[in-house]
Amino acid sequence: MHPDLEKLILLQAHDVEAKRLRDEMVALPKHVASLETKVKAVEGQRAVIIGLIAKEEALRRRQESDVKDHQAKSARVRKQMDMATTTVQVTAFEHEIAFAQAEINKLEDAEIESMERSEGLEAQKNLADEALADATATLERERVRATETIAQDKTLLAEIEDKRKAERAEIGESALSTYDRIAKSKGTAVAEALNQKCMACQMMLRPQRWNDLRDRNNEETMMACESCGRLLYYDPSRDSPQRKTVPVESIAASIIRSL
């Protein structure tokens, strides 16, 4: 293997980890912001339900006051009826009383309907209370986790940046500029070749190139994948003829293990 290639493999591992840390530091505040939005949405839904409950209560207060008005009117008319002198007057008063009673019945029915709506709304409010408590707890937990993780990421990133600087200083200028150029366009610049395939783009290597790559004495050239252009390396310990076979656990053994 070309001496710079080994260093590039290590550099890439640190570049990938640095990118992961940077991505995480960007993603976590967005994640927290999306949870804040969710809490606000649940709060909004709960406020709408509370508003509807208040509306039903106001409606019932009006209905009760209207019932009292009709009852008072009815009582007044009854007194007038006691002093009535003609059947025409009595009939007119009776109509008034019947009308008032019909209104009272209508209002009382409407009041029962309102109470039923309120019951439904109270159930919805309980669900909204639970949803809000859940969303708030999740937000608080994730906010703490994000703060802690970002602080850890910053420390790790600083360490990795120091390592990267030291590693880059050890690599030849031409190898480094090739690495940077490919990494910039492809995301990663070095890829393992395994079973005659580039593991980054999955394309097969021609037999001659595969043989050249596996040639232990070849320390001169760095070989690039003909398909994706990444620098290829070969790890003999991972090649299939030498790969250890994974022992397959018998069904009986796995049952015993799970007891």
Binding-site ranges for Zn ion (CB under 5 A):
198, 200-201, 225, 227-228
Tell the residue number behind the tokens 């992961």, with chain if given: 20
Choice between 121 and 193, CB closer to Zn ion: 193
Q: How far from 228 is each of 122, 167, 189, 237, CA to CA, in Å?
A: 62, 25, 9, 24
By beta-carbon proximity to Zn ion, the closer residue of 146 and 198 is: 198
Q: Which is nearer to Zn ion, 194 or 228 (CB)?
A: 228
Q: How would you class 207 by CB atoms within 10 Å of its CB: exposed for 0-12, middle for 13-18, buried for 19 or more?
A: exposed
Spatial distance between the Cα atoms of 151 and 156, rounded to a whole number of angstroms:
9
How far is Cα 147 from Cα 149, in angstroms, rounded to an integer?
Answer: 6
Helix (H, G, I), strand (E, B) or coil at 58: helix
CB of 9 or CB of 228, closer to Zn ion: 228
Structure tokens belonging to residue 196: 């005659």
Q: Please enumerate in sequence order all residues whose Cβ is within 8 A of that of 251, keeping only pairs 6 or more positions apart, or say none.
A: none
Q: For residue 218, with 0-12 CB atoms within 10 Å meaning exposed, 13-18 middle and 19 or more buried, which class applies?
A: middle
State how far the Cα of 255 lies from the Cα of 252, in Å rounded to an integer. 5
Smallest separation (angstroms) from Zn ion to the CB of 44: 51
Least Å from the CB of residue 231 to Zn ion: 10
- Nearest approach, Cβ of residue 182 and Zn ion (Å): 10
Of the pair 139, 228, the CB lying nearest Zn ion is at 228
Q: Which is nearer to Zn ion, 81 or 228 (CB)?
A: 228
Nearest distance in Å: CB 234, Zn ion: 13
Provide the minimum distance between the beta carbon of 178 and Zn ion in the complex, in angstroms, as a whole number: 15
Smallest distance, Zn ion to C-beta of residue 193, A: 8
How far CA 191 is from CA of 5, 8, 161, in Å, comes to: 10, 10, 22
Q: Is 67 or 223 the residue whose CB approaches Zn ion more closely?
A: 223
CA 233 – CA 209 distance, rounded (Å): 12
* Least distance in angstroms from the C-beta of 216 to Zn ion: 22
